[in-house]
Chains A and B, each alone.
Chain A
């Protein structure tokens, strides 16, 4: 309380910070958002089991690699949050750059994957699989891109000297919540959309 005693809006009844609670609510909403996209994909996949054979197209090696990269970026994100809490600005910057770098690798993999699929004649228009697949993974890619943009802004902001240990730690934590969520969504997509396709004869 002592830090923010001059703010009338600080008589929180709960320990969760306003910004963090807002992010949690956004993520709850986003859960429903991705839930709808993923279920659309799965419903059409089940409805037309023979219209398309994704295993010939999917490269499990590439996607596993990008999934691993995204997971590791979450690890770095956690380190960045922890560094900010301790007020270690240099460590925060190093880890944030790592997150950005890994995020870009993931996006690069996705761009490569999309280009490859389009080259193999799977487009948005080809069939329902194409429509649902690109919209779902594309939306996730946009989420990752927004996260990267956010972290780049934070990286540069950390050089202005305006980051104070208390408030900015919360800001970084909120960005971290978002990043971890995007990561978790990818794990669901990776499992439900990629991996299950490789189970022989369910």
Chain B
């Protein structure tokens, strides 16, 4: 912490004084804008500040991480001993479906989005994202989608309590929670085999898709257009680069699932023939469309994690990232190749030799840029002055655990081997090593690294060591035996198993590991709460870091940078601190007109709330609940009114005049 004596201008004025000086203005519609509101709740509901939006994304994602984790624990408890009858087969199906859906769409993606939101504008020296109100829409639409997709659980709970029953007008409301697996293979999702849960799943995912697409387009525009002067593309921090690649993947991959879900909805509501075998529909079409989205989705999850690691390792090795350009290039190649490997999820469907061979080769090819990244991370460590601070421990854990997931991935890439492993616990082991061992550890590393910037508080004590030990031991004890279970032939998605296959011990070990992992994650949350409540002031740059976000205050002011920084080099802050004179960060004069701030707005929230009746109405309309069509139309009207008022109220904005120190 001895390196913060830099000449970076930090605002000296008390930020709490400013809102009292400024008064809310009227929008073009004559309504009072919710700016400078004294109510904290209104301030957060209407905020367009990327930092507050990022914090909300993070909080909601952590909540759903716990929900998904609880679902996983129930699954593991059920499987602890053979022929267990803790939960029914149907409930088991619901749990693994919602565990997967929750973890991917409601925990990992929004947790990534939390980092995108908070960090990207800070890392590129921008005041905010390009479209602050669209950013707010993305957040609240994500919340609406999460509510719709989990609505079945609420009904299920009411049913268990005896407050809801599927009879009379709601006779069609059976099978309330999605139970078709997170990839919802046709024809399992047809009306013949599944009920209302699938409709909630379809509409929930559609709404989440809108949230992801609008957020991604916003980030691409931000990264391309909003960079501070001198922040050339090849000077961008790697995390920002990976945000860009991830966002492009979302923009081009999500339409496939949007169409697939639309076709499925048509099949269910209007009896069309897309996946309806009796009418000539081909269930395999669903698999293709789903995985054309689904495989890029894997990289949508992992590339931001790789970006975080590429920030943490150089900071704690006191070295620049080894081979910056090739790391960036590899990330882009992974993103590009990610679109060309979807059929490796379908090797056993009988695609034909040529297609299988091609997809097999392409899948192996994608290991090359991934390997390049791993070697570059190791190269970064090599000869560096390594500090084993909390973020670094988790980052090193990521490199190791992610490689384990990668190795079993290579095994799947070989089609003959995959034919043996398909739908067995080996697959579960593989992708949990990638997601838990890889992405989750990177996210924890990111949390430990950037929390001092987010809240301005430094971590207390060394609870992080315990978190690291429990999480890493827990995930290995949970998932490593699953390799053996898979090779011993235990199929995934079975709610119980018989004695005598040699699966008993492994399953018991997995379950114990899951609880160890759960304790580790709870400790992480305890540590975060301790940090926020008892942490000591972090200062601008507690880690002696390299990138631009550490040059501003912790937590950053609403306007991020009092003056626009001019970036002379990559690793801007590091060069500023230790580089030659001509690589110092300089600041543009603002000639007295201050920092232009966007006005807050109710409209994104209103438009997003409309998605809830729209989604629920459409879902329950399929089950034949009366008046649901009108509810859906009402929701659509709310969305449209919100958007129309949004267009008419005008962007507004006001100026802040932070005084320089």
- The residues of A with any CB-CB pair to B shorter than 8 Å are 5-9, 11-14, 16, 18, 21-22, 25-26, 28-30, 32-33, 35-37, 40, 43-44, 47-48, 51, 124-125, 127-128, 130-132, 135, 153, 162
A6 to B657, CA, bound (A): 13
Q: Let me know if A25 and B221 touch, CB within 8 A.
A: yes
**Chain A residues near B218 (CB, 8 Å)?**
22
Given contacts A6-B593, A6-B596, A128-B273, contact A21 B225 (CB under 8 A): yes
CB pairs A–B below 8 angstroms (13 shown): A11-B226, A11-B228, A14-B224, A16-B225, A18-B130, A18-B225, A28-B251, A32-B252, A33-B255, A47-B282, A128-B273, A135-B266, A135-B272
* Interface of chain A: mostly helix, strand, loop or mixed: helix
Given contacts A6-B596, A11-B228, contact A22 B280 (CB under 8 A): no
Q: Let me know if B255 and A36 touch, CB within 8 A.
A: yes
A132 to B259, CA, bound (A): 11
**Chain A residues near B270 (CB, 8 Å)?**
124-125
Question: Using a CB-CB cutoff of 8 Å, which residues 613-661 of chain B contact chain A?
Answer: 644, 647, 653, 655
Closest to B216 in A: A25
Interface check B289, CB cutoff 8 A? yes
Q: Let me know if A32 and B256 touch, CB within 8 A.
A: yes
Q: Let me know if A48 and B280 touch, CB within 8 A.
A: yes
A94 to B636, CA, bound (A): 31
Question: Using a CB-CB cutoff of 8 Å, which residues 272-290 of chain B contact chain A?
Answer: 272-274, 279-282, 285, 289
Interface check B271, CB cutoff 8 A? yes
Interface check B420, CB cutoff 8 A? no
Find A124's partner among B224, B266, B597 (CB 8 Å cutoff): B266
Q: Let me know if A28 and B252 touch, CB within 8 A.
A: yes
Find A125's partner among B258, B273, B289 (CB 8 Å cutoff): B273
- The residues of B with any CB-CB pair to A shorter than 8 Å are 28, 126-128, 130-131, 213, 216-218, 220-221, 224-229, 231-232, 251-256, 258-260, 262-263, 266, 270-274, 279-282, 285, 289, 292, 559, 564, 593, 595-597, 644, 647, 653, 655
**Chain B residues near A132 (CB, 8 Å)?**
274
**Chain B residues near A11 (CB, 8 Å)?**
226-229, 564
Q: Let me know if A21 and B224 touch, CB within 8 A.
A: yes
Q: Let me know if A33 and B259 touch, CB within 8 A.
A: yes
Closest to B282 in A: A47
Given contacts A18-B130, A21-B221, A25-B217, contact A40 B274 (CB under 8 A): yes
Q: Let me know if B127 and A125 touch, CB within 8 A.
A: no
**Chain A residues near B224 (CB, 8 Å)?**
13-14, 16, 21
| Chain A proximity of B655: nearest CB distance (Å) | 8
**Chain A residues near B595 (CB, 8 Å)?**
8
**Chain B residues near A5 (CB, 8 Å)?**
593
| Chain B proximity of A124: nearest CB distance (Å) | 5
Find A128's partner among B227, B254, B279, B647 (CB 8 Å cutoff): B279
Q: Let me know if B285 and A29 touch, CB within 8 A.
A: no
Given contacts A11-B229, A25-B220, A40-B285, contact A125 B596 (CB under 8 A): no
Q: Let me know if A9 and B127 touch, CB within 8 A.
A: yes
A16 to B252, CA, bound (A): 20
Find B285's partner among A28, A43, A127 (CB 8 Å cutoff): A43
Closest to B218 in A: A22
| Chain A proximity of B654: nearest CB distance (Å) | 11
Find B252's partner among A29, A43, A124, A125 (CB 8 Å cutoff): A29
A25 to B224, CA, bound (A): 12
Find B263's partner among A26, A30, A40, A130 (CB 8 Å cutoff): A40
The 3 tightest CB contacts between A and B, nearest first, are A33-B255, A131-B272, A32-B255
A201 to B292, CA, bound (A): 32
Q: Let me know if B220 and A127 touch, CB within 8 A.
A: no
A11 to B266, CA, bound (A): 46
Closest to B251 in A: A29
**Chain A residues near B274 (CB, 8 Å)?**
40, 128, 131-132, 135
A74 to B271, CA, bound (A): 36
| Chain A proximity of B635: nearest CB distance (Å) | 17
**Chain B residues near A127 (CB, 8 Å)?**
273, 279-280
- Known interface pairs A21-B224, A22-B221, A29-B213; 7 further A-B residue pairs with C-beta atoms within 8 A, sorted by A's residue number: A6-B596, A9-B226, A28-B251, A29-B252, A44-B282, A127-B273, A131-B273
